[in-house]
Amino acid sequence: MASNGETFAASLAVFAKKAPEQVRVVVRKASIDLLTATVMRTPVGNPDLWKSKPPKGYVGGRLRANWNVSLVSPDTSTTDAIDKDGDPTIERGSAAIGEADGIKDIWIMNSLPYAIPVEYGHSKKQAPAGMVRVSVAEFQAFVDQAAASLASE
Residue-wise pLDDT for 92-148, tens only, equals 999 999 999 888 899 999 999 999 999 998 776 676 678 999 999 999 999 999 989
113, amino acid identity: P
pLDDT level of residue 1 (50, 70, 90 thresholds): very low
The confidence score (pLDDT) of residue 2 equals: 52
57: left (phi over 0), alpha (psi -120 to 50) or beta: left
Please state the domain extents for the chain. Answer: 20-43+61-151
pLDDT level of residue 152 (50, 70, 90 thresholds): confident
Average of per-residue pLDDT across 5-14: 54
**4: CB partners within 8 A, 6+ apart:** none
Residue 8 clears pLDDT 60, i.e. is over it: no
The confidence score (pLDDT) of residue 42 equals: 95
Span between the terminal Cα atoms of the chain, in Å:
29
Residue-wise pLDDT for 21-49, tens only, equals 888 998 999 999 999 999 999 999 877 87
pLDDT level of residue 9 (50, 70, 90 thresholds): low
| DSSP calls for the chain | ---HHHHHHHHHHHHHHHHHHHHHHHHHHHHHHHHHHHHHHSPPP-GGG-SSPPPTT--S-HHHHTEEEEESS----------SSSHHHHHHHHHHHTT--SSS-EEEEE--TTHHHIIIIISTTT-TT-SHHHHHHTHHHHHHHHHHHHHT-
Q: How many beta carbons lie within 10 A of that of residue 61, not counting itself?
A: 19
Distance of CA 22 to the CA centre of its chain: 19
